[in-house]
Amino acid sequence: MSFEEFTNYIRDHITDGWNESASVSIQKIKKNNGIVYTGAYIRSEGSMVTPAIYLEAYYERLQEGETPEELLVDIRKEFDWAMSRTSSFEFDISSYANVRDRLIYRLINYEKNKELLMACPHIRLEDLAVTFRWLAHEDSVGISTALVTYNELELWEVTVQDILLAARENTERIFPRKVMYIEDFFMERNMNVLHDERSIPMFVATNQQQINGASVILYDHFLEDFAGEHPGNYYILPSSIHELILIPEDSIQDPDSLCDIVAHANSTVVSDGDILSDSVYYYNADSNSLSIYKR
């Protein structure tokens, strides 16, 4: 069974004997860095929202020997679980007043997301772009957000400046900053890293949830506050969209090597959807300025 045949099968049979009044559609969903997933949308009658059930992983299980009928059962379970997480979602998203306090921003790569950025308000920063989303749900399992497009701006009758001001207030409140030594970062993940007193001091910057934590670099006075606690200028390595690594300038003899490290990590370790940039950034504490490091 081809992937197209599989998605058609899911569309045609997912409601059999279960939620038969729901409508089903299969859509291509563009994610970060141009990655495209195939999602099944099962919209129950009267439901305001419906989660996307991504089908690629289920197709892999089909190829590994599971039957389509077994996969239908698990897709229904995933849908029911996802819907249970949105049980508190009762507000009208057509009203800006209802959404304003949920608006947040995210930092993504500009070039890798050019097509996506054509449809949504954004602000370009060097080789990055600031996009805006609204938070639908957050719990111990994770978060659910939706991208703000130009359609929402028109519906809400607001400007990019309006949502920027709201996101500046909300993002750090909802996702508080978190900075730690890199050794502590690894310990939190139960990764044993041998500490050497001669090691270069490195700091990991993210948020408390450690989800899209690279956006902390946009927080008001973030770098200024950090340099106040740890004086000096810093190189900033975009480890992924989830965290940044800050390294004191005076501990690096060959800054060019940092560019090679980032590029190598992005090509071998970081998943395509989590890559932020191949660039290294430089923070000058004296001028409180951030720029791309040039070899």
Task: Give me the sign of the Cα torsion angle 242, 243, 244, 245.
Answer: negative
293, 259 Cβ separation under 8 angstroms? yes
Cα–Cα dist 162/149, whole Å: 14
- At residue 188, the pLDDT reads 82
Cα–Cα dist 276/272, whole Å: 9
- At residue 295, the pLDDT reads 78
Single-letter amino acid, residue 251: S
Cα–Cα dist 252/293, whole Å: 13
- At residue 159, the pLDDT reads 97
36-78 pLDDT, tens digit per residue, is: 999 999 998 777 678 899 999 999 999 999 999 999 999 999 9
Task: Give me the sign of the Cα torsion angle 36, 37, 42, 48.
Answer: negative
Average pLDDT over residues 6-34: 95
Cα–Cα dist 4/277, whole Å: 33
- At residue 199, the pLDDT reads 74
**pLDDT(243) > 80:** yes
- How is the chain split into domains, by residue range? 3-85, 96-174, 177-292
Distance of CA 259 to the CA centre of its chain: 23
Average pLDDT over residues 117-135: 96
Average pLDDT over residues 151-158: 96
Buried b (16+ CB within 10 A) or exposed e, 79-109: beebbebbeeeeeebeebeebbebbbbbbbb
**pLDDT(92) > 90:** no
Average pLDDT over residues 91-101: 88
* Confidence category of residue 140, pLDDT binned at 50, 70, 90: low
For the chain, the three-class secondary structure string (H helix, E strand, C coil) is CCHHHHHHHHHHHCCCCCCCCCEEEEEEEECHHHCEEEEEEEECCCCCCCCEEECHHHHHHHHCCCCHHHHHHHHHHHHHHHHHHCCCCCCCCCCHHHHHHHEEEEEEECHHHHHHHCCCCEEEECCEEEEEEEEEEECCCCEEEEECCHHHHHHHCCCHHHHHHHHHHHHHHHCCEEEEEHHHHHHHCCCCCCCCCCCCCCEEEEECCCCCHHHHHHCCCHHHHHHHHCCCCEEEECCCCCCEEEEEHHHCCCCHHHHHHHHHHHHHCCCHHHCCCCCCEEEECCCCEEEECCC
With 0-12 CB in 10 A as exposed, 13-18 as middle and 19+ as buried, what is 284? Answer: middle
